Amino acid sequence: MLRRILAFFSFVDTGVSRFFCGATLALLLGVIVAAWPPGAGAQANFGSVNVGGSTTAIVSVTFASAGKVANVEVLTQGAANLDFTMATGGSCAVGNSYAVSATCTVNVAFAPTRAGVRNGAVKLLDSSGNWLATGSVRGTGVGPQAAFLPGVQSTVSSVVSFPYGIAIDGGGNIYVAAHIVNPVEEILAVNGSIPASPTIVPLGSGYGSNPQSVAVDGSGNVYVADTRNNAIKEILAVNGSIPASPTIKVLGSGFSYPQSVAVDGSGNVYVADYGNSVVKEILAVNGSIPPSPAIVTLGSGFSYPNCVAVDGSGNVFVADDNHGLVKEILAVNGSIPSSPTINTLGSYYSVTGIAVDGNEIGRAHV
């Protein structure tokens, strides 16, 4: 059964960074006064912008495929016309043809409606909907954030079988990693919120009996820790949403019982590779995962890690379960270096979930 806790005032919860591993872990926030370090994470970084304010930035995109541009999309975690929108100007033009490795620019406006970190994407598509080029964008809204009270709970769904992990996209849709029956499902939002009797759709097939975790990137693609199949999979979004018969890609190989996935503002995917007792990063290129991605191991010294989360500065937080520790892999200029510093943040009997808020200092909630 999935439940939601209603805030003392209503808002569409699309911007707070949330990660759920094992049992559902809700992130309760007070006031966020976050800042974003220049150059961290995404290809275009808007930094900190007050809620109600706006700023623009130039996003440079590189073409992965040759073709004629028929459509330019600017998305906020898969949803159009939210915090990131297209502004006037830029050299990318609908109707122009571009060669592989060509570059052009799109002007993007960032106007945060709520406090917290925002991930987004710019996508250039041909007339068939195939993406030709993509770029990642990120920014932080600064201002008051709703604080949850221990009040009303409402059931979102009672038909999901043993939910293990959830993620939320920019449109308010909820993605669930469940057990046995329809292992990955989407609970459809209506106008940004889940209705009383929501539509629930399965997202493809071929998963093992208990995928443990899901995550959503700035383009609306959904990543799955397909635990029993020892695989990380990507469910591809089309125009920011998952279609009825989605394309599902396997990202790399060599995983053993992966338990958790998280995505940063550049589209890099982080994996708690439980069976191998390591944390891995699947490297994005120009904001998306290529067909044969590079996969790197981040540091060492973990023992059966079962959860990962990423903060606004690119630091990675790890639930090092067998050691009973929470650790932080420190980013440098928004990315994890080849020999990262790993700090121990606390000792616990057992750690099953971590969430990171939108604060600059990377507050982890365990």
Q: Domains of the chain, with CATH numbers?
A: 12-18+155-365 (2.120.10.30), 32-144 (2.60.40.770)
Per the CB < 8 A criterion, the answer to whether 199 and 186 are in contact is no
Name the band, by pLDDT with cuts 50, 70 and 90, for residue 5.
very low
At 47 the pLDDT is 83
For the ranges 254-258, 265-269, 332-336, the lowest mean pLDDT is seen at: 332-336
Q: What is the mean pLDDT of residues 325-352?
A: 89
Q: What is the pLDDT of residues 27-40, one digit of tens each?
A: 333 332 233 333 33
Instruction: Let me know: does 1 contact 160? Beta carbons within 8 Å.
Output: yes
For residues 86-106, average pLDDT = 94
Percent of the chain's residues with pLDDT above 70: 79
Q: Please, how many CA atoms are within 13 Å of residue 259, restricted to the half-sphere of its CB?
A: 27
Question: Which of left, alpha, beta for 131 (phi over 0: left; psi -120 to 50: alpha)?
Answer: beta
Please compute the mean of the pLDDT values over residues 246-262 and round it to a whole number: 94
**Cβ–Cβ under 8 Å, residues 138 and 122:** no
Q: What is the pLDDT of residue 37?
A: 34
* pLDDT for position 351: 80
Is residue 148 scored above 80 in pLDDT?
no
* Structure tokens that stand for 245 in this block: 């018969």
The 10 Å Cβ neighbour count of residue 180 is 10
Q: Would you state the pLDDT for residue 222? A: 95
pLDDT given for residue 365 in this prediction: 67
- Return the SS3 of 322: helix
Q: Are 146 and 118 in contact (CB under 8 A)?
A: no
Give dist(CA 208, CA 204) in Å, integer.
12
Record the pTM. 0.81
Beta carbons of 349 and 320 less than 8 angstroms apart: no
Contact 129, 238 (CB under 8 A): yes
Residue 301 in this model has a pLDDT that exceeds 90: yes
Q: What is the spatial distance between Cα 224 and Cα 206, in angstroms, rounded to a whole number?
A: 12
Confidence bin at 147 (pLDDT 50/70/90): low
How high is the pLDDT of residue 123?
A: 92
